[in-house]
Amino acid sequence: MAMQITTGTSELRDITKMERIGAHSHIRGLGLDDRLEPRENSQGLVGQAKARKAAGMILKMVQEGRIAGRAMLFAGPPSTGKTAIALAMSQSLGPDVPFTMIAASEVFSLSMSKTEALTQAFRRSIGVRIKEESEIIEGEVVEIQIDRSISGATKTGKLTIKTTDMETIYDLGTKMIEALTKEKVLAGDVIMIDKTSGKISKLGRSFARSRDYDAMGADTKFVQCPEGEIQKRKEVVHTVTLHEIDVINSRTQGFLALFAGDTGEIKPELRNQINTKVSDWREEGKAEIVPGVLFIDEVHMLDIECFSFLNRALEGDLAPLVIMASNRGMSRIRGTKFRSPHGLPMDLLDRVLIVSTKPYSDDEVQQIIGIRCQEEDVKLSPEATQVLTSMALQTTLRYALNLISCAQVLARKRKSEEVQVEDLRRGYSYFMDDKRSVQWLKEQQGNLISEEVTGGDDDVMDTDK
């Protein structure tokens, strides 16, 4: 029995993005020029010139659709910008190319198997650009007439729309009246109505009403009255991911399952049907595949079964570019007794392009601190900047960046807008870094409840840096 595959594109709605200050909210892009040469300090990134240039070359190939089904690995010590470079790539890709970011530990879920979690992540990273023709009504509103019943329960109305060539009157139902009221459509507005979904878009005010000063605002946009017929056919392009198509076709609630998050296991038979349908759309010219990027952070946390799945999945026809990040050296492959570079099996390492990151220099650390202060709206005195840079070099960069907001709170407590050295020192005394924490544990030995570790030296984490 043939199954009807739907994409749910008519149900898509614009969602307002919520901005907040996060660990990587200052990242705007890779900071490369037109020749893919890295600038010293640009778009929130500092240093790591070789890694950024390598990422830029990969990005160029992704945008040309030539590198799907391959993998690359960012390898380097902690706090050297591996995740930041991956997020910069996502910023540079644009809204039409899917970018999925997961932590390796996310796949170990009780609600679904490891391979299902990885499959969903893969399919979130493959976009389908669908072209379809839809009927629209476009014109300038001449008059809106709304009639209410005596009880006020039902509404009926008439909408008069015109173009330069013709004028038509449409009867309105309750839903259309509510949609027009919500969009605040008035006589003189140029509107577009999608007949399939009923969505109303306000294009602007007609130039004929440009002298109605009382009906104008500072942001009023004036457009020409449309020409030709009122009802037209228009080609609309939607970009959805394969995972969204899977969810819409596998759940009774359809599109709402995307927001509920309770997608559960999706049957392989359904995925095969969707793959066949997408292939048919490609042959007919109705759709094209947009290979995206899947970023797996802390990839050494995956086990041998997940690595075997990755090996097979990368050979598939519908495979994105997989970018991985790891801060491990020679470590044990999870699920085995074997040790391997970066905690990845040798057969997978043979497939990946490895890009290394190195620790930041003193000058680069100071520039990063300046960028974070600007992002968090904190003013540091020159002496405090020098002290915080030396703290970052003695402890870790992440610890120093965390002290910025703490020092600002302490500065405001003494009625100062500028953070001084004394604020940093007080914050340094309140919060311990990892080295001081280890030293404190050694001093408190016997007072704290400890667990006996049995095993060889391989099972003990090295805390010396």
DSSP assignments along 386-433, one per residue? HHHHHHHHHS-HHHHHHHHHHHHHHHHHTT-SEE-HHHHHHHHHHS--
Q: Provide the β-strand partners of residue 418.
A: 379
Please give the Cα distance from 40 to 32 (Å, whole number): 9
Please give the Cα distance from 52 to 22 (Å, whole number): 21
Looking up residue 416, the CATH number of its domain turns out to be 1.10.8.60
Looking up residue 157, the CATH number of its domain turns out to be 2.40.50.360
Which of these three, 204, 234, 264, is where a domain ends? Answer: 234
Averaged pLDDT score across all residues of the chain: 82
Residue 18 sits in the same domain as residue 107: yes
Q: What tens digit of pLDDT does each residue of 6-32 get? A: 555 444 434 333 445 777 777 878 888
Residue 58 located in a structural domain: yes
pLDDT at 332 over 90: yes
Residue 37 located in a structural domain: yes
Residue 339 sits in the same domain as residue 422: no
Task: Show the tokens assigned to 236.
Answer: 């609309």
Residue 349 sits in the same domain as residue 419: no
Beta strand residue intervals within 123-282, DSSP E: 126-148, 155-162, 167-172, 189-194, 200-206, 222-223, 231-241
Please give the Cα distance from 217 to 295 (Å, whole number): 45
Q: Provide the β-strand partners of residue 391.
A: none
pLDDT, greater one: 422 or 173: 422
Q: Provide the β-strand partners of residue 128.
A: 240, 289
Which of these three, 334, 356, 378, is where a domain ends? Answer: 356
Q: Provide the β-strand partners of residue 239.
A: 129
Q: Which residue has the tokens 């706090």?
A: 79
Number of compact structural domains in the chain: 3
Q: Provide the β-strand partners of residue 413.
A: none
User: Per-residue b/e over 295-315, b at no fewer than 16 CB within 10 Å?
Assistant: bbbbbbbbeeebbebbeebbe
Please give the Cα distance from 307 to 115 (Å, whole number): 10
> In the predicted model, what is the mean pLDDT of residues 364-372?
89
R_g of the chain computed on alpha carbons: 29
- Highest-confidence range of 87-91, 214-218, 324-328, 440-444, by mean pLDDT? 324-328
> In the predicted model, what is the mean pLDDT of residues 329-357?
91
Q: Which of 351, 313, 328 is nearest to 107 (CA)?
A: 313
Looking up residue 339, the CATH number of its domain turns out to be 3.40.50.300
Which of these three, 184, 201, 234, is where a domain ends? Answer: 234
DSSP state of 461: P
Among the residues of 232-303, which ranges form H helices? 242-250, 256-260, 268-284
Is residue 185 within 8 Å of residue 202, measured between CB atoms? yes
pLDDT for residue 42: 81
Residue 451 located in a structural domain: no
Residue 240 located in a structural domain: no
pLDDT, greater one: 344 or 69: 344
Strands 126-148 and 287-291: antiparallel
Is residue 94 within 8 Å of residue 62, measured between CB atoms? no
pLDDT for residue 28: 79
Residue 201 sits in the same domain as residue 142: yes
pLDDT for residue 324: 92
pTM summary value: 0.71
pLDDT for residue 345: 92
Least confident range of 42-56, 198-212, 311-325, 381-395: 198-212
Residue 67 located in a structural domain: yes
Residue 21 sits in the same domain as residue 100: yes
Residue 213 sits in the same domain as residue 299: no
Residue 205 sits in the same domain as residue 224: yes
Least confident range of 154-168, 214-228, 450-464: 450-464
Task: Show the tokens assigned to 242.
Answer: 């394969």
* Phi, psi of 15, rounded to the nearest 5 degrees: -115, 125
Task: Show the tokens assigned to 7.
Answer: 């994409």
Residue 465 located in a structural domain: no
Residue 90 located in a structural domain: yes
Residue 13 sits in the same domain as residue 121: yes
Least confident range of 15-24, 119-128, 193-202, 292-301: 15-24
Residue 115 sits in the same domain as residue 31: yes
Please give the Cα distance from 388 to 403 (Å, whole number): 8
Residue 20 sits in the same domain as residue 94: yes
Please give the Cα distance from 98 to 171 (Å, whole number): 41
Task: Show the tokens assigned to 329.
Answer: 């050296």
Residue 368 sits in the same domain as residue 384: yes
Residue 239 located in a structural domain: no
> In the predicted model, what is the mean pLDDT of residues 392-409?
90
* Structural domain range at position 415: 362-443
Residue 27 sits in the same domain as residue 106: yes
